[in-house]
Amino acid sequence: MRPAAIFPGCLVTARFPEYERSARTVLTALGYQLENLDETVCCGSNVWESVDGEQWLPAAVNLARAEQQGVNLITLCGSCTNMLTRARQALEQEQIKVQVNQQLRSIGLQYQNGTNVGHVTEVMWHRLEKLREICTFPSKQPVWPTYPCQLRKPEGISDIEDTAAPHIMADILRAVGAHVVQHSAQTDCCGATMALHDPEMAYTMARDKLAASAADELLVTACGNCQLALSRWQPLTTKERPDLRREVSFITDVVAQAIDGAVIPDIKGHQLPKKSILPSASPEECLKCGSCKTVCPAEQKGIASIPSLQMGEEGNPWACTACLECTTSCPQGIDVYQNGVRMRLDREPQSNYQKAYQNILLHGTVFPLADLREFRQEEGLPPLRFGNLTKIKDKKPIT
């Protein structure tokens, strides 16, 4: 079995070192041989593909570095998982691979489809039996898992998760002995990525999700964005509603607390989805049925977004959380979200997106990070370096 490296992404690296730390604890207890990535860049999710037509480039840099190091990638965020998985499928197309490899060559990299990507919940799910053996949940507090959108949408992104009725997180939490409660809102989008375009709307979406839970419940997340929206923003989202304050934990924190101390020697590798998740139907095949519009959280809040544009109406392609509900709901198999993102490329970039894009290009992260060495040492984490993308030759000029 190939060793794996945790791909923490920029949000978790900067804000949630505890998530990476508990993921390391759990994966090590499950027998994974974890290596450190020599260098990484932001996966580019949402930001890069909204501003730059070369949408696979940052993800390809990460896949190629992992391949060079001989490791698979274990992700912690839904968006990193989605972006890296989509890029991996796109790079199986010879034309895209040749073009991307031409650019990668200028920074000493090549990619030959040799890197697997799996989210930490998928990895844990493959070891449910072992989790049952080694874990005892230390509390009776009810837990409710909130599922990251991009980990289960569009259909096929994961070969074990169910898009409409996700179960992986509940299965893991039950395996460690926790009392799992279910709410329909567990699949609602947390709204975090809407913050780049409309922070107030993002806070409203996060508050709605908190309001769906009971005061004694522990909300369990599996994505830095969900944790940001549901936990870190609570001072803002619950300012007028202090009764909505909730405890929120990462799933690996919950599992790590329940581990009895055993170490498991053998492991089963995580697999990539077999089904294609790349766009299939053309936007012209739209039936104007309105299904995408009905499910879109932005449209539900009265903001004309990508679905309106898809249906030939006025809309704002930036007013979107990247929840992928529109793509998932389309009976024609149109990738509504991706088409909307392409529409962004013809428009003036939103300043927050443009700033974040420039940061990825120049610093490798969506926001500039101070020297990580000391920070990671204090947090008990191995060194990690973010590289930049400025040395890539034949890169389109920045717009």
Least distance from ligand SF4 to the Cβ atom of residue 184, Å? 17
Residue placing its CB nearer to ligand SF4 in the complex, 70 or 333: 333
Separation between Cα atoms, residue 345 and residue 357, nearest integer Å: 13
Is 325 a residue that touches ligand SF4 (CB under 6 A)? yes
Bridge partners of 72?
4
Residue placing its CB nearer to ligand SF4 in the complex, 333 or 380: 333
CB-facing half-sphere around the CA of 5: CA atoms within 13 A: 23
DSSP secondary structure of 195-236: GGT-HHHHHHHHHHHHHTS-TTPEEEESSHHHHIIIIITHHH
Contact residues for 240 (Cβ-Cβ < 8 A; gap 6+): none
Least distance from ligand SF4 to the Cβ atom of residue 148, Å? 13
- Name which position in 5, 298, 372, 384 contacts ligand SF4 (CB under 6 A): 298
Cβ atoms of residues 22 and 255 within 8 Å: yes
Residue placing its CB nearer to ligand SF4 in the complex, 87 or 320: 320
- Name which position in 175, 296, 360, 372 contacts ligand SF4 (CB under 6 A): 296
DSSP secondary structure of 94-105: HHHHHHHHHHHH
Separation between Cα atoms, residue 183 and residue 170, nearest integer Å: 12
**Stretch of residues binding ligand SF4 (CB under 6 A), selected from 9-17, 199-207, 333-341, 347-355:** 333-341
CB-facing half-sphere around the CA of 23: CA atoms within 13 A: 30
Can the peptide bond before residue 154 be classed as cis, meaning omega within 30 degrees of 0? yes
- Name which position in 29, 157, 168, 330 contacts ligand SF4 (CB under 6 A): 330
- Name which position in 96, 286, 345, 369 contacts ligand SF4 (CB under 6 A): 286
Residue placing its CB nearer to ligand SF4 in the complex, 81 or 321: 321
Is 288 a residue that touches ligand SF4 (CB under 6 A)? yes
Tokens read off for 212: 């769906």
Strands of the sheet with 72-75, listed across from one edge: 34-35, 4-7, 72-75, 117-119
**Stretch of residues binding ligand SF4 (CB under 6 A), selected from 204-212, 325-333, 361-369, 374-382:** 325-333
Least distance from ligand SF4 to the Cβ atom of residue 336, Å? 5
**Tokens 């924190």 sit at which residue?**
253
Least distance from ligand SF4 to the Cβ atom of residue 43, Å? 17
Cβ atoms of residues 254 and 141 within 8 Å: no
Tokens read off for 342: 């392409």
Closest to 347 (Cα-Cα) out of 316, 323, 321, 320? 316
- Name which position in 9, 154, 191, 297 contacts ligand SF4 (CB under 6 A): 297
- Name which position in 150, 186, 305, 316 contacts ligand SF4 (CB under 6 A): 305
**Stretch of residues binding ligand SF4 (CB under 6 A), selected from 39-47, 65-73, 302-310, 363-371:** 302-310
**Stretch of residues binding ligand SF4 (CB under 6 A), selected from 234-242, 306-314, 342-350, 353-361:** 306-314
Binding site for ligand SF4 (CB under 6 A): 286-292, 296-298, 305-307, 310-311, 320-326, 329-332, 334, 336-337, 340
